Structure 1
């Protein structure tokens, strides 16, 4: 990105030349240059606390190049450069060479040595290309995540000459060259207190106060100062103020995203900039189609950090265009997009479809954090995607050792939540059991409880671990330093204990102490039971009154002694008479109506969620006659008469006469 703009803005300076790397060396004895360079440069690379800063920088030339052998890029329609090409002749002068071809050659290098060797072969080097050369060095050195450049670069005479030139000529460098050089040296972890950076920063500040820095230079300078001085520096406020005064229509898409990144670093002042952010969010709707995968990821990630929940139209549009880029996202970029969708509660069926195809084809090569984020996305939005779940299950069986405890939890929980067993379920849960047995103490207590509870939802009962999690020792670890266990953990423990009693009668181990048992599974977060939908219940209630004759013959929201809350309960005696709900004697059968609204199913499906499936399973084991009244059957009824007939068939399928 930086080089494109640099080339675009400064190509008209072709007649402006100052001595290049070799010229600088020729004007000073070699020993003197080395001495001066080492004195100046050695303190620059001494800041181990500096963190890596990702290079944001596109090569526009690459679009006009193609590869003949997979390695060597050359301009389309022009001969391939050979080792004996004029580029490599020391006497070659850039005045006669197209600047775009220079960048094409520069961007083809894969090491700093190649870049510096290429620069040293040039008799003169335009100052417009000094920053470009530094940026390319920075890029090739950062590709492997190195913290600092190797010492060989520091001692390289050409690199030393470039740095000395930047420092000595700072006042005469064009704006874009100055800020781009500062940015490149910042990315190379030059010491912020070195004379080199102090001079460059001081010169940038002088020009900033005078005004006149163009938008792209302001954006580059802003990101450099965040890296060097942190988001609290006073100069950054001036940069943001000047950017707010510019017309957004004059910003390139790269500059818009850079502005988001700058504001993202100032989250404590987001309220102060909210009016400008609203304007920026609205304008960004018009440029989404121009964004690359990297820029889409960066913009949507900034919206999360800045908590722009009111910018949902922008999030939706970013999601729409992200669909076509899914195969091109890096692992980190895809993770950020999924994280944003989870944060904003957004899902898109086209995005999900594209994600299915991508995950199914490359799941074994995805980073574990991305895999767990994909599963979290499906889980949060109740998306029962069999291609994704099957691929993830296969990945875990093959590469379980790559996953950390929290990633395993995020991977396993959706299977229970979505009530789905993959084709390799036996291998999946056997692998999980072996990992838990081997690394039991490595799992945080709450993480372990979530995993085991999720297994029980789909009838993969963790019998071998029940005695351990019901033990006072584990319960004490689970409570930690808190005075009491949280309600969700207590509810999960209680449901696991109820499962051991109802579905695992052969289990004779440790029981859960009464003080750790809850009375109701209706937790504040509705994790174990979904509350009754009022509108759907009202429709069913009208039909029940018509069918049974009075409201007294059924009760709603009945809390059972077994912690479950029944939507509607009807009592029937031995002769088939429907009894008033106040009667406690002579009850032969209890009918539990489960009035299931869309929230109790996977998204756009008729597949019950795990918590609803286990509830109905347990109620049957407790002796209830469970009758499911799903929303998709109710909405098909066109009249009140049809509703009564429907309830008649559901409640009394044997056509027994109803008496009350």
Structure 2
């Protein structure tokens, strides 16, 4: 491991810029390395010109500056100090500082200035530690909207010394020091930096010599992806070498880094190798940090590893343990992955409930909306989550974008739930719609208002707008026609206005925008009947009524709803054959509700099914609900017939058979 000797106020680089050159290089050495590997690097790499950097040194009070090769933490011939002693003497040469203590100190600092001050107190520093310090500085200064390091960092003599030492002779650096320094610079430096080019050239040389270990290959691969097109042939060589390594020698961090590399260039992925990694990863999951867990799940999504459900399930098991420790971004990535793979788990839901209920007011709006999307997609009826999010929205509605607002409100309608603060919630929503109506994308707005109607919070004040030709034209956009789902939502909203809002006197929905059936391919407005449950009920109905003639199945009404089973009664309450269309006094609508019409693992009916039954009742039907959990309790055919008799012909119904 090379040792880097640091001095205070050694040099000042007047033209030190991130988007130019980072340090002075020994031109002869750089040109030699570049000549050796020129033919093998990507074309973009060699289209860049190296320009000389002017370096000015302040010689006053400077000490001798040198680098040495070596792999030991302590220089040869010098005693190693105990950890306790090292902590007491941390202001002295790093030969007195244990490596773990060094990195612990490094990670405890909260600013680059603290890191630089600490480094300036050390006389000699192994290149791996110097690279770690450089990486820590760049990491702390990284900002999404700024690609330059602050001027005070660039002009700091200790920082300049760090960079200059890596530029002087990269061939003397250890593999770890070399790739860690490169990794640090990729956070800020553009490919025109001389220092970056020098380090890349040395990495390329070692790569072709096959002298890079697994960890170095992984870091180099990620650096290349950040700096250039993942299609570069150099990356091919890295992936090829990694495929030849024994997976048992990979650390958990290396495995996740390998996933990230493959994620960046899925077209290069060998499926057999990926399957091998998935199987091996089962053994490393217990050792993954929250960050690595989220990164592995994200990579599995990008690589479309739907066949790796065993790995996803194990990841989910360990995600539960880390819920309180995820950052907002990491938790969002976990939820996105679980949505993608269709994963749900009772323990994960419970942990998520505790997390959201305790921290909802401090969670990022994107995370809050993603939590609601997860509950909505998986039909998870969680009162703690729904109540916490409703309270958050009332208190902090200004934080949420129009799309996030819709993602938060829609699950209440879908899951058929009114929170305790429903009046405040929908009053706040109404105020937002009044002031920001035009900011909502048309389809998002339609879904939002339709969801409100599912829980009887009818958007009467906005119906005139959404039934207007102007809004319908916006909804259609550049397409030649409106999609079926939007038409179905418009039709159901219009039916809601007629049945539940008789005081509405605004414009009506034109017939050309109305559908004939609410059964859409995505089952958004009606859930198809559970066939196995229907077969069981049909057997009981035949025994009860005497013949199949006395009931009809899958009846499409004039009001767009499809009734599972319809039974017609005359004025005296006698059952009529389903073929009869005269003397019908009452129609009985049997809603044979299978598990898919309820929230997950609950007896709570979904909003669309509750709305259907409510509307059928208002249309004059006698609605009889036959839920699956009641049928499952019956032990014999006789019990089934008795159950149906009680449901259809109770003393109050007036029916006969």
Is the TM value for this pair above 0.5?
yes
Describe the superposition over 1:73-129 as per-residue Cα deviations: whole angstroms up to 9, x where unpaired: xxx995997xxx7444xxx33333323322233332222222222222222222232
Matched residue of 2:567: which SS?
A: strand
Describe the superposition over 1:581-634 as per-residue Cα deviations: whole angstroms up to 9, x where unpaired: 010000011000000000001111111100000000000000000011110011
- Which residue of structure 1 aligns with residue 266 of structure 2? 267
Kindly indicate whether the alpha-carbon contact (under 8 Å) linking 1:491 and 1:518 is maintained by their aligned counterparts in 2: yes
- Which residue of structure 2 aligns with residue 220 of structure 1? 219
Distance 1:379 1:416, change over 3 A: same
Matched residue of 2:138: which SS?
A: helix
Confirm or deny that 1:409 pairs with 2:406: yes
- Which residue of structure 2 aligns with residue 302 of structure 1? 299
> For the residues of structure 1 that align with 2:148 and 2:501, how far apart are their CA atoms?
58
- Which residue of structure 2 aligns with residue 395 of structure 1? 392
Aligned-pair distance for 1:149?
A: 1.1
Kindly indicate whether the alpha-carbon contact (under 8 Å) linking 1:45 and 1:191 is maintained by their aligned counterparts in 2: no
Kindly indicate whether the alpha-carbon contact (under 8 Å) linking 2:135 and 2:181 is maintained by their aligned counterparts in 1: yes
- Which residue of structure 2 aligns with residue 196 of structure 1? 195
Confirm or deny that 1:618 pairs with 2:595: no
Confirm or deny that 1:355 pairs with 2:352: yes
> For the residues of structure 1 that align with 2:275 and 2:330, how far apart are their CA atoms?
24
Distance 1:288 1:201, change over 3 A: same
Confirm or deny that 1:291 pairs with 2:268: no
> For the residues of structure 2 that align with 1:234 and 1:21, how far apart are their CA atoms?
40
Matched residue of 1:628: which SS?
A: strand
Describe the superposition over 1:300-336 as per-residue Cα deviations: whole angstroms up to 9, x where unpaired: 1111111110011111111111111101100000001
Confirm or deny that 1:17 pairs with 2:7: no
Confirm or deny that 1:500 pairs with 2:500: no
Distance 1:590 1:196, change over 3 A: same
Kindly indicate whether the alpha-carbon contact (under 8 Å) linking 2:443 and 2:475 is maintained by their aligned counterparts in 1: yes
Confirm or deny that 1:454 pairs with 2:451: yes
Aligned-pair distance for 1:641?
A: 1.0
Describe the superposition over 1:460-509 as per-residue Cα deviations: whole angstroms up to 9, x where unpaired: 01000011100001000000000000000000000000000000111111
- Which residue of structure 1 aligns with residue 584 of structure 2? 587
Kindly indicate whether the alpha-carbon contact (under 8 Å) linking 1:254 and 1:295 is maintained by their aligned counterparts in 2: yes
Q: For this pair of structures, how many residues does the alignment match? A: 600
Match 2:629 to one of 627, 632, 636? 632
Confirm or deny that 1:650 pairs with 2:647: yes
- Which residue of structure 1 aligns with residue 71 of structure 2? none
Kindly indicate whether the alpha-carbon contact (under 8 Å) linking 1:21 and 1:125 is maintained by their aligned counterparts in 2: no
- Which residue of structure 2 aligns with residue 182 of structure 1? 182
Matched residue of 2:529: which SS?
A: coil
> For the residues of structure 2 that align with 1:123 and 1:326, how far apart are their CA atoms?
43
Kindly indicate whether the alpha-carbon contact (under 8 Å) linking 1:393 and 1:422 is maintained by their aligned counterparts in 2: yes
Aligned-pair distance for 1:390?
A: 0.3
Confirm or deny that 1:135 pairs with 2:135: yes
> For the residues of structure 1 that align with 2:455 and 2:137, how far apart are their CA atoms?
54
Kindly indicate whether the alpha-carbon contact (under 8 Å) linking 2:556 and 2:563 is maintained by their aligned counterparts in 1: yes
The unaligned stretches of length 5 or more in structure 2 are: 24-81
Kindly indicate whether the alpha-carbon contact (under 8 Å) linking 2:182 and 2:199 is maintained by their aligned counterparts in 1: yes
Q: Map 1:94-243 to 2 at 5 A.
A: 94-142=94-142, 146-187=146-187, 189-243=188-242
- Which residue of structure 1 aligns with residue 363 of structure 2? 366
> For the residues of structure 2 that align with 1:422 and 1:432, how far apart are their CA atoms?
14
Describe the superposition over 1:164-207 as per-residue Cα deviations: whole angstroms up to 9, x where unpaired: 211122011111111111111111x1121222111111110110
Kindly indicate whether the alpha-carbon contact (under 8 Å) linking 1:602 and 1:609 is maintained by their aligned counterparts in 2: yes
> For the residues of structure 1 that align with 2:86 and 2:233, how far apart are their CA atoms?
50
Kindly indicate whether the alpha-carbon contact (under 8 Å) linking 1:40 and 1:195 is maintained by their aligned counterparts in 2: no
Aligned-pair distance for 1:137?
A: 1.0
Kindly indicate whether the alpha-carbon contact (under 8 Å) linking 1:44 and 1:191 is maintained by their aligned counterparts in 2: no
- Which residue of structure 2 aligns with residue 43 of structure 1? 20
> For the residues of structure 2 that align with 1:517 and 1:498, how far apart are their CA atoms?
10
Matched residue of 1:310: which SS?
A: coil
Distance 1:41 1:454, change over 3 A: closer
> For the residues of structure 2 that align with 1:505 and 1:597, how far apart are their CA atoms?
33
> Which stretch of the first structure deviates more once superposed, 133-142 or 539-548?
133-142
> For the residues of structure 2 that align with 1:462 and 1:18, how far apart are their CA atoms?
70
Distance 1:655 1:490, change over 3 A: closer
Kindly indicate whether the alpha-carbon contact (under 8 Å) linking 2:6 and 2:158 is maintained by their aligned counterparts in 1: no
> Which stretch of the first structure deviates more once superposed, 168-177 or 326-335?
168-177
Aligned-pair distance for 1:146?
A: 5.0
Q: Map 1:206-605 to 2 at 5 A.
A: 206-270=205-269, 273-605=270-602
What do you get for the CA RMSD once the two structures are aligned?
Answer: 2.1
Kindly indicate whether the alpha-carbon contact (under 8 Å) linking 1:44 and 1:190 is maintained by their aligned counterparts in 2: no
> For the residues of structure 1 that align with 2:513 and 2:401, how far apart are their CA atoms?
29
Matched residue of 1:508: which SS?
A: coil
Distance 1:359 1:659, change over 3 A: closer
Aligned-pair distance for 1:537?
A: 0.5
> For the residues of structure 2 that align with 1:629 and 1:547, how far apart are their CA atoms?
15
Describe the superposition over 1:346-368 as per-residue Cα deviations: whole angstroms up to 9, x where unpaired: 10000000100110000000011
> For the residues of structure 2 that align with 1:656 and 1:436, how far apart are their CA atoms?
44
Aligned-pair distance for 1:40?
A: 7.7
- Which residue of structure 2 aligns with residue 67 of structure 1? none
Distance 1:655 1:360, change over 3 A: closer
> For the residues of structure 1 that align with 2:589 and 2:341, how far apart are their CA atoms?
36
> For the residues of structure 2 that align with 1:349 and 1:642, how far apart are their CA atoms?
33
Distance 1:209 1:629, change over 3 A: same
- Which residue of structure 1 aligns with residue 53 of structure 2? none
Aligned-pair distance for 1:214?
A: 0.8
* TM-score, scaled relative to structure 1: 0.88
Distance 1:650 1:97, change over 3 A: closer
Kindly indicate whether the alpha-carbon contact (under 8 Å) linking 1:44 and 1:192 is maintained by their aligned counterparts in 2: no
Match 1:34 to one of 2, 13, 22? 13
Matched residue of 1:530: which SS?
A: coil
> Which stretch of the first structure deviates more once superposed, 520-529 or 149-158?
149-158
Kindly indicate whether the alpha-carbon contact (under 8 Å) linking 2:22 and 2:195 is maintained by their aligned counterparts in 1: no
> For the residues of structure 2 that align with 1:530 and 1:18, how far apart are their CA atoms?
69
Distance 1:142 1:79, change over 3 A: farther
- Which residue of structure 2 aligns with residue 51 of structure 1? none
Aligned-pair distance for 1:41?
A: 6.1
Matched residue of 2:170: which SS?
A: coil
> For the residues of structure 2 that align with 1:656 and 1:613, how far apart are their CA atoms?
21
Matched residue of 1:171: which SS?
A: helix
> For the residues of structure 1 that align with 2:168 and 2:83, how far apart are their CA atoms?
41
Kindly indicate whether the alpha-carbon contact (under 8 Å) linking 1:416 and 1:456 is maintained by their aligned counterparts in 2: yes
Matched residue of 2:566: which SS?
A: strand
Distance 1:40 1:634, change over 3 A: closer
> For the residues of structure 1 that align with 2:196 and 2:18, how far apart are their CA atoms?
11
> For the residues of structure 2 that align with 1:362 and 1:578, how far apart are their CA atoms?
57
